[in-house]
Amino acid sequence: MKQSNPIQPLGRPSKLEQTLERAKTYLKGGYLENEEVIPTLAGLAWYAHISRSTLYEYKKISEEFSDTLEAILALQETKLINKGLLGEFNPTLAKLMLANHGYSDKVKQELAGEIENKTPPAMNIIIGECIHDLSDNELDLQEKLALLREERLTQQH
């Protein structure tokens, strides 16, 4: 007895299916055929004869396509690290491209010196009074500031 085959859709494959196959070929070395040193999404778009925006649209609608793009980016990251460590890539360019994969320079900075308080002593007293008065909830902030302004004006004249 002959087994029945599942129904196959008629017609040519969709553009997404064709692009997925091209992406898999690109990942397996197609980028080298393009004389690219590392795989890139821009290189894949050129290789598959589509725009980068189409790549991103396909990524949204196809999990398999999304996984293939992630594999391309993982291969790119791995090659950047390995060839960067071997000195085969320009360090500045490798560093710049690795930033797209979440890598960054951490610069540790230490500050030395003393902190000098340049607040006039009279202001320190006023600030201290405000803080004290606010914590005691004797007057609301607007009333207290108005009183302090009046006192300061009186002291200046």
Pair 73, 139 in one domain: no
Comparison of pLDDT for 105 and 119, the residue scoring more: 105
Does residue 126 fall inside a structural domain? yes
Does residue 6 fall inside a structural domain? no
Q: What is the pLDDT of residue 4?
A: 47
- Return contacts of 98-106, CB within 8 angstroms, 24+ apart: 101/73, 101/76, 101/77
How many Cα atoms are found within 13 Å in the side-chain-facing hemisphere of 139?
13
Distance of alpha carbon 75 from alpha carbon 84, whole angstroms: 14
Q: In the predicted model, what is the mean pLDDT of the chain? A: 82
Which domain does 129 fall in, by range? 121-156
pLDDT single digits (tens) 10-39:
555 689 999 999 999 999 999 999 899 999
Give the pLDDT band of residue 126 (cuts 50, 70, 90): confident
Domain total in the chain: 2
Pair 23, 92 in one domain: yes
Distance of alpha carbon 146 from alpha carbon 50, whole angstroms: 68
Neighbours of 65 (CB within 10 A): 20
Comparison of pLDDT for 61 and 146, the residue scoring more: 61
Q: What is the pLDDT of residue 104?
A: 85
Q: What is the pLDDT of residue 157?
A: 65
Comparison of pLDDT for 82 and 106, the residue scoring more: 82
Neighbours of 19 (CB within 10 A): 24
Q: What is the pLDDT of residue 5?
A: 47
Q: What is the pLDDT of residue 152?
A: 77
pTM of the predicted model over 0.85: no
Pair 83, 145 in one domain: no
If you average pLDDT over residues 89-103, what whole number do you get?
Answer: 88
